[in-house]
Amino acid sequence: EFITARALFEKRKNLEYISTGVRSLDDLLEGGVEVGSITELIGEFGAGKTQICHQLAVMVQLPKEKGGLNARALYIDTEGTFRPERIIQIARAKQLDPEKALENIIYARAYNSDHQMLLVDEAKKYIESQNIRLIIVDSLINHFRAEYPGRENLASRQQKLNRHISQLHRLASLYNLAVVVTNQVMSSPDIFFGNPMKPAGGNIMAHGCTYRIWLRKAKEGKRIARIIDSPKHAEKEVAFAITEDGVTDI
């Protein structure tokens, strides 16, 4: 059905966000991680992608006045990097009962791309019964890259990846929840100036994710986050830190 742009504007005014727990990142995202959308965190190993995922899985549990949605998170881990111990540290820093915080994260390890897609299909029954408002897939592309190496497999990999991202979009809009995925970087031999790295997943990832944030390490243990693709944000970058308490402002 058609609606006026004004009606859409009013609807978007009531959008909900999950705070990242970091003021600079929330400012970068104009409020935090938006529900109904896919937010992609891109970066090399150690850039802070998984740390932000852990923190969001805690933040979503907070009451609305503290930046959360009073809800639970569903966490699909494809690389075996989820650490309950880290959740406990972050929960304590946010004055949450660590036991409760762990209880409110529904976790699954995905062992290949088919399994990963199956888990997203199965997520529906949890979402409906368990008050899930955040789905995390860390990393989205890991299994796809490993199982479909080389140019000859690229077309079939991209088709499958496209189906997977569509699955996630459907859940985001159907259940009004936020989806956060992480992506790896790869070298781009055809670039002669600027950043020699580019996000993996090609156009499918570029067009499939609503907001894309590039994370990188900087001096003195700082991290930099930059919005590289967004229908509403200007390109800018902010700094943040990773401490024992989680992801923090500098």
Residue that has been written with the tokens 């004004």 in this structure: 6
Residue 43: closest CA among 244, 246, 234, 212 = 212
Identity of the residue numbered 97: D
Side-chain half-sphere CA neighbours of 203 within 13 A: 3
Query: Which DSSP string do the residues of the chain spell out, in sequence order?
Result: ----HHHHHHHHHT--EE--S-HHHHHHTTSSEETTSEEEEEESTTSSHHHHHHHHHHHTTS-GGGT--S-EEEEEESSS---HHHHHHHHHHTT--HHHHHHTEEEEE--SHHHHHHHHHHHHHHHHHHTEEEEEEETSSHHHHHHS-SGGGHHHHHHHHHHHHHHHHHHHHHTT-EEEEEE-EEE-TT--SS-SEEETTHHHHHHH-SEEEEEEE-GGG-EEEEEEE-SSPPP-EEEEEEETTEEE--
* Mean local confidence (pLDDT), 62-74: 98
Is the pLDDT at 71 greater than 90? The verdict is yes
**Mean pLDDT confidence for 88-111:** 98
pLDDT for position 192: 64
pTM of the model: 0.94
Contact 123, 132 (CB under 8 A): yes
Handedness of CA 24, 28, 31, 36 (dihedral sign): negative
pLDDT in tens, 136-189: 999 999 999 999 998 899 999 999 999 999 999 999 999 999 999 999 988 877
Flag whether pLDDT at 230 surpasses 90.
no
| Burial of 2 (C-beta count, 10 Å sphere; 0-12/13-18/19+) | exposed
Q: Note the pLDDT of residue 235.
A: 82
User: In 10 A of CB 103, how many CB atoms?
Assistant: 11
Alpha-carbon distance of 105 to 101, in angstroms, equals 7
* Residue 168: C-alpha distances to residues 57, 82, 108, 135 (Å): 17, 20, 16, 9
Q: Is the pLDDT of residue 191 over 70?
A: no
What the chain holds in terms of domains, given with CATH numbers, is 15-248 (3.40.50.300)
The percentage of the chain sitting over the pLDDT mark of 90, rounded to a whole number, equals: 83
